[in-house]
Structure 1
Amino acid sequence: MFSCGVRRRHWFREGFMHRVAITGIGIVSCLGSDLESVAHALRKGQSGIVVDEQRRQLGFRSPLTGQVRGFDAGSVLSRKQRKTMPDFALQAYYAADQALALAGLCPDEIQNEETGLIFGCDSSCMAAIEQVDSLRAKGETKLIGSGLVFRSMTSCVTMNLNTLLQTRGACWTLSSACSSGGHAVGQAADLIALGRQERMICGGAQEINWQSMCSFDALGAFSTRIDEPHAACRPFDADRDGLVPSGGASALVLERFDLAKARGAKILGEVLSYAFSSDGQNLSVPSRVGLQRAMSKALDGAGLKPSDIDYLCAHATSTPAGDLAEAENILGVFDKGTPWISSLKSMTGHELWMSGASQVVYSVIMAQKGFIAPNINFRNPDSVTGRLRIAVETVNKAPEHVLCNSAGFGGTNACLVLRFAQ
C-alpha cells in the first residue's frame, strides 16, 4: 500500500498527461526590449542597474534601480487602448506580442476557448495614487478618469490582454509575492498537461516606478553601494548588502507538445515539471528547508536525478539572509555535486513579481544561443556559498536540463524544470 508521499508523486507523473512545449518568448527588462539585445547583455554579463537621481532627491536610502530602455509605451497601442493600462501592463502586452509572433500562432489559434492567460503580478501602485491625488485636487469623484479603476486592479494585465488578444480560455492573475511569475508559468503548464487548455500565454509583470518602491526602501533591504551601480547586486557574494529593485514584463507561449509539433512550430524548449512549497514559518526570512522541498518535488516530477541538472537559475537576490538560505537549500538537494549556478539578478536586479517568469525566458535565450550567463560580481565566497559551483564567467555551453528557483515573502516557493534539445 502506498504511503501518502509516494501516492502524491505517482499521481503527479500520471497526471502530467500531455507534454508542454515552449514555442514563444518575449521580454521587456533593463537588459533590453528585444530578444537579441537581452541575449547580448546576458552573454556579456552587462548590468542594467543605474542610480535614479529622483529617488536620491526624494530621500531614498538607495536610489539604485534597474532601468528599462528602448521601450516606447506610446508606440504600442492606441491612446484609447492605453487608457486602462499602466506601464507594466503595456510592457506585458508588448512581451506577449513578441512571444506570439515567435510562436507563429494565427488569430484563430489564439481567439478560442482552448487558449488562456495567466500572469504573475502582486501590485498596481500608481493608479491608486493617481486616483487619490485626483480626488484631492478636483474635489469630486466624477472627475476621476474611468481608466483608473482598471489600472488600479492587480488583475489589470490579464483583463486587458484578454480583451486585446480575444482569448476565451483561462484568464487570471496570480499573486504570490516574488514567486508570482514562477507560479504563473507552472500553473499554465499544469493546465496544458492536465488537458484543461491547449495553449497558454503566461508570464509576469512588475512596475518599476519609485512610488511602488518607497516602502521597500524603508525596510533597509536595498543595496546602498551607489558608487558602483553595476556592481551593487552581488548574489551569493560574501559582501552582498541588499537587493536592487527592477521590473518590466516577460511572457511565454506554452502549447501542448503534440499540437505544436503537428502545426510545424519551432519547439524552443519543454516544461518538464512544476512544484511548489511554502515555509510556514516567517513573513520575510526564508527557511532552510522550504525551497529544498520544492526543488526535490520538481526533480521527482520530471523523473530526473539532481545530477541530471546542468544549470540552476537561482532566485538569489543579494540579501545576506536570503542568499544564505537558498545556498543551504541547494546544498540540501545537490550536496557536493551542484550544477552550474548563476543568479541573473546580478545583472537585472530583482524583478520581483515578474522574476520567476523572466528566469524561464532568460533560460530559453541561453539555450537557444548556446551559453550559460554568469553571476557577475561574485568575488568573495563565504563559507556556504563557496561550496556552490557559481558561474563567474560566461559558460560557452548550452544547458540541457535547467532548474529555475523563485521564492517570495511569506515563504512561498516555485520551482520549474525545463528541458532543451541538444
Structure 2
Amino acid sequence: MLHRVAITGLGIISSIGINLDEVTESLYTGRSGIVVDKERETLGFTSPLSGAIKDFDKKFPLNRKQRKSMPQFVEWAFEAAMSALVQSGLSHEEIQNPRSGLIFGCDSSVLDAAAQTEQLKASKDTSVLGSGLIFKTMTSCITMNLNAILGTQGASWSISGACASGGHAIGQAADLIRFGRQDRMICGGAQEINWQSMCSFDGLGAFSTRIATPHAASRPFAKGRDGLVPSGGAAAIVLERYDLAVKRGAKILGEVLSYGFSSDGENIIVPSRTGLGRAMRMALQESGCASQDIDYICAHATSTPKGDAMEAANITDVFGPCKVPVSSTKSMTGHELWMSGAAQVVYTCLMAQHAFMAPNINFDGPDETTAQLDIVTQTRLQPIKKALCNSAGFGGTNSSLVLGF
C-alpha cells in the first residue's frame, strides 16, 4: 500500500528572512538578500557578493554542550526544524520513536575543517583541538546533532548530492513515508555562509561581478546574466503520513505528490541537455499529472549562462507549448547551494498558501534559449494547486518534486 505524504510544518532561515512571515513578504515584494561581503573584497575575491543572514534571533536556544558540536549552519537547521515542528503541532514525545526520522541535504562543512588545521599549525598539539571539531567537520553534522537533541529513533542520515542535496532529502524522506517505512520525517537542507567555503568557487569564475548593484546581480534566465551569487541558510519541512496527520487534526499545508531523480552521466560541471528533463518526467509520471496540470515551476536556475540555458531547454522539452509559469527564487536569495532544493519547497508552499507566484527579479529580457518560457517577472496573483520544484548539482545529479495544494 502506498501512502499519501502530507506537509505539516515549515521552517526557514534565509537571506530574505528568518521566519515564514518575513520570507513570504520578501517573496511577494521581490526583495533581495544579497550584499557585498567586505572581507571577501579584502581577500581578493573576484566577486565579494553573497547572500547574508541578517538579525538572526534564536527562538529555540541551545546550551553550551549542544553548541560544541554544531557549526553555525547546524544551529540554523535546528532553528528551522524546531519552527517546523511547532507549526506541525507534533510534540517531542510524538517524534521520539522508531517511526520518526531525519534526512537533511548537506555536502560540506568547510569552516571548521579549515579552523582545525590552522589551530593545529599554531599549537603543534592535536590534544587542544577538542572533540567538538570532529562532529563539526563531518558532512552528516546536521542529522547527527538533531537526532541527539530531538530524540528521533528512525532514519537519520544526510544526503550529499551537491546543489540537489536538499531536493533529494525531501524526495527520499517522502518515499520512506510513501512506502510505509516511516510515519513522519523532519527533512531539509542547510548551507554555510563564509568565504572559506566559497574561495575555490570564486576561482572558477562562476560568480556574478555586478558588485556595484548587489541586489541586481542574480538574474536567472535573463539575457544579461553573468554568474551566480552564493548564499545559504537552512530549510526544514515536516512530512507525515497523510491519514495520520488528518487523524490527529493537523493542518495540511500541502502534499509531496512525487519525487523524480536522474543523473546526467556526462560532465562533472556542465549540465546535460536531457538529464533534468528525465527527472521531471519521472516526477510527473509518478504523480499522475500531465504537464498541463502543473500551475507553476520553481526553477533551479542559478543565473549562470550555461546552466540556465540547459534548464530552459529541458523545461521546454517536457512542457512544450503549455507555457507553465516559471520563476527562480534565486534571483532574490542567491544560490543557496546544498539547501536550495529544500528551500524551494518552503518558498513554493508559502506562495501556494498566499495564492501568488514570486517574481524572477532582475529579468532584463530573455535570450534565445529562455524565450520559450513564461517567466514570471512581476508578482503574479494566481492560485497554485500543483507545482514542480527543480534542483540540480555538480556531477550531473538532478531532483524534481511535484507538490500538491
TM-score interval, smaller chain? over 0.9
Q: Distance in 2 between matches of 1:132 and 1:348?
A: 31
Amino acid at match of 1:41: S
Quote the residue 1:336 is aligned against: 321
- Cα-to-partner distance string for 1:247-274 (whole Å, 9 max, x where unaligned): 0000000000000000000000000000
Q: 1:377 aligns with which of 350, 362, 370?
A: 362
Identity %: 63
Quote the residue 1:26 is aligned against: 11
Amino acid at match of 2:116: Q
Quote the residue 1:146 is aligned against: 131
Amino acid at match of 1:91: W
Q: Distance in 2 between matches of 1:73 and 1:144?
A: 27
TM-score, length-scaled by structure 2: 0.99
The 8 Å contact of residues 126 and 211 in structure 1, kept in 2 or not, is answered as: yes
Quote the residue 1:62 is aligned against: 47
The 8 Å contact of residues 43 and 373 in structure 1, kept in 2 or not, is answered as: yes
Quote the residue 1:11 is aligned against: none
Q: Deviation at 1:70?
A: 2.0
Q: Deviation at 1:75?
A: 6.8
Q: 1:390 aligns with which of 375, 378, 382?
A: 375
Residues 307 and 75 of structure 1, relative CA distance in 2, 3 Å threshold: closer
**SS of structure 2 residue aligned to 1:202:** strand
My pick for the range that moved more, 254-263 or 73-82, is 73-82
- Cα-to-partner distance string for 1:19-40 (whole Å, 9 max, x where unaligned): 0000000000101111000000
- 2:372 matched to 1:417? no
- 2:105 matched to 1:129? no
Quote the residue 1:35 is aligned against: 20
Count matched residues: 405
Quote the residue 2:275 is aligned against: 290
**SS of structure 2 residue aligned to 1:335:** helix
Amino acid at match of 2:65: K
- Cα-to-partner distance string for 1:75-95 (whole Å, 9 max, x where unaligned): 731122101000000000000
Q: Distance in 2 between matches of 1:280 and 1:258?
A: 39
My pick for the range that moved more, 377-386 or 218-227, is 377-386
Q: Distance in 1 between matches of 2:61 and 2:201?
A: 30
**SS of structure 2 residue aligned to 1:385:** coil
Residues 198 and 75 of structure 1, relative CA distance in 2, 3 Å threshold: closer
Quote the residue 2:78 is aligned against: 93
Provide structure 1 residue ranges, at least 5 long, that are not aligned to the other structure.
1-14
Q: 1:238 aligns with which of 215, 223, 226?
A: 223
Q: Distance in 2 between matches of 1:132 and 1:205?
A: 23
Q: Distance in 1 between matches of 2:5 and 2:180?
A: 11
Q: Deviation at 1:74?
A: 10
Q: Distance in 2 between matches of 1:125 and 1:277?
A: 27
Q: Distance in 1 between matches of 2:259 and 2:60?
A: 36
- Cα-to-partner distance string for 1:342-393 (whole Å, 9 max, x where unaligned): 0000000000000000000001111112211000011121112111000000
My pick for the range that moved more, 64-73 or 207-216, is 64-73
Q: Deviation at 1:397?
A: 1.7
Q: 2:210 aligns with which of 208, 216, 225?
A: 225
Quote the residue 1:161 is aligned against: 146
- 2:307 matched to 1:307? no
Provide structure 2 residue ranges, at least 5 long, that are not aligned to the other structure.
none
Q: Distance in 2 between matches of 1:129 and 1:230?
A: 30
Amino acid at match of 1:204: G
**SS of structure 1 residue aligned to 2:374:** coil
Q: Distance in 1 between matches of 2:389 and 2:128?
A: 46
- 2:266 matched to 1:268? no
- 2:359 matched to 1:351? no
The 8 Å contact of residues 76 and 90 in structure 1, kept in 2 or not, is answered as: no
Amino acid at match of 1:228: T
Q: Deviation at 1:136?
A: 1.0
The 8 Å contact of residues 285 and 321 in structure 1, kept in 2 or not, is answered as: yes
The 8 Å contact of residues 59 and 79 in structure 2, kept in 1 or not, is answered as: no
The 8 Å contact of residues 221 and 308 in structure 2, kept in 1 or not, is answered as: yes
